[in-house]
Copies of this chain bind each other. A is one copy, B any other.
Amino acid sequence: MQKLINPKRKEWDALCTRPSYSTESLTERVSEIIAMVEARGDKALIELSALLEGANLKNLAVSSSEIEEAKGSISEDLKKSIDLAISNLTTFHSRQIRPVEYITTSKGVTCWRKGVGMETVGLYIPGGSAPLFSTILMLGIPAKLAGCQNLILCTPPNASGTINSAILYAASILGIQQIFKVGGAQAIAAMAIGTETIPKVNKIFGPGNQYVTKAKELVSVRGTAIDMPAGPSEVLIIADESSVPSYVAADLLSQAEHGPDSQVILLSTSDEVLNETLCEVERQVMELPRSETAMKALDNSRGILLRTLDDCMQFSNIYAPEHLILAVEKASAYAEKVVNAGSVFLGNYSCESAGDYASGTNHTLPTNGFAKAYSGVSVDSFTKYITYQELSREGIQNIGPAIEIMAEAEGLLAHKRAVSIRLKDVQND
Contact surface of A with B, Cβ cutoff 8 Å:
77-78, 80-82, 84-85, 87-88, 91-92, 95-96, 98, 101, 103, 105-106, 109, 111, 113, 116, 118-119, 129-134, 166, 202-203, 217, 221, 223-225, 229, 246-247, 250-251, 253-254, 256-258, 284, 287-290, 294, 331-332, 335, 338-362, 366, 368-376, 378, 380, 383-393, 395-396, 399-403, 405-407, 409-419, 421-422, 426
Residues from chain B with Cβ under 8 Å of A221 in the complex: 217, 221
Q: Which of A91, A380, A406, A416 gathers most chain B CB within 10 Å?
A: A406
> How many copies of this chain sit in the oligomeric assembly?
2
Task: Judge whether B257 and A359 touch: CB under 8 Å.
Answer: no
Residues from chain B with Cβ under 8 Å of A254 in the complex: 412, 414-415, 417-418
A412 to B133, CA, bound (A): 12
Residues from chain B with Cβ under 8 Å of A421 in the complex: 246-247, 250
Task: Judge whether B419 and A351 touch: CB under 8 Å.
Answer: yes
Q: Which 5 A-B pairs have the closest CB atoms?
A: A105-B360, A81-B402, A225-B373, A88-B105, A346-B390
- Closest residue of B by beta carbon distance from A250: B418
Task: Judge whether A339 and B119 touch: CB under 8 Å.
Answer: yes
Residues from chain B with Cβ under 8 Å of A80 in the complex: 402
CB distance from A380 to the nearest CB of B (A): 7
CB distance from A4 to the nearest CB of B (A): 24
**Contacts A78-B406, A251-B418, A385-B376; is A349 near B391 (CB within 8 Å)?**
yes
Residues from chain B with Cβ under 8 Å of A362 in the complex: 387
A383 to B376, CA, bound (A): 12
Residues from chain B with Cβ under 8 Å of A101 in the complex: 95
Residues from chain B with Cβ under 8 Å of A392 in the complex: 349
Residues from chain B with Cβ under 8 Å of A95 in the complex: 101, 103
Residues from chain B with Cβ under 8 Å of A224 in the complex: 373
Beyond A109-B354, A250-B414, A344-B388, 14 additional contacts (C-beta under 8 Å) are A88-B109, A88-B399, A98-B98, A113-B361, A116-B339, A134-B410, A250-B418, A289-B411, A290-B411, A344-B386, A350-B395, A354-B389, A360-B389, A375-B383
Q: Which of A113, A347, A415 gathers most chain B CB within 10 Å?
A: A415
- Closest residue of B by beta carbon distance from A203: B373
Task: Judge whether A410 and B360 touch: CB under 8 Å.
Answer: no
Task: Judge whether B257 and A84 touch: CB under 8 Å.
Answer: no
Task: Judge whether B78 and A342 touch: CB under 8 Å.
Answer: no
**16 sample A-B contacts, Cβ–Cβ < 8 Å, listed by A number:** A81-B403, A92-B105, A106-B358, A131-B409, A225-B373, A250-B414, A340-B384, A342-B387, A343-B386, A343-B388, A345-B389, A346-B388, A349-B393, A349-B422, A353-B407, A375-B383
A152 to B78, CA, bound (A): 51
Task: Judge whether B418 and A342 touch: CB under 8 Å.
Answer: no
CB distance from A299 to the nearest CB of B (A): 16
CB distance from A210 to the nearest CB of B (A): 15
- Closest residue of B by beta carbon distance from A228: B225
- B346, B411, B422: the one contacting A131 at CB < 8 Å is B411
Task: Judge whether A418 and B386 touch: CB under 8 Å.
Answer: no
- Closest residue of B by beta carbon distance from A341: B386
Residues from chain B with Cβ under 8 Å of A355 in the complex: 387, 389
Task: Judge whether A247 and B111 touch: CB under 8 Å.
Answer: no
Task: Judge whether A410 and B250 touch: CB under 8 Å.
Answer: no
Task: Judge whether A375 and B371 touch: CB under 8 Å.
Answer: no
**Contacts A81-B402, A349-B392, A373-B118; is A130 near B257 (CB within 8 Å)?**
no
Task: Judge whether B253 and A390 touch: CB under 8 Å.
Answer: no
Task: Judge whether A360 and B109 touch: CB under 8 Å.
Answer: yes
- Closest residue of B by beta carbon distance from A284: B417
Task: Judge whether A399 and B118 touch: CB under 8 Å.
Answer: no
Task: Judge whether B396 and A354 touch: CB under 8 Å.
Answer: yes
Task: Judge whether A410 and B131 touch: CB under 8 Å.
Answer: yes
Residues from chain B with Cβ under 8 Å of A257 in the complex: 412-415
- Closest residue of B by beta carbon distance from A372: B202
Task: Judge whether B406 and A134 touch: CB under 8 Å.
Answer: yes
A119 to B372, CA, bound (A): 8
- B332, B344, B422: the one contacting A351 at CB < 8 Å is B422
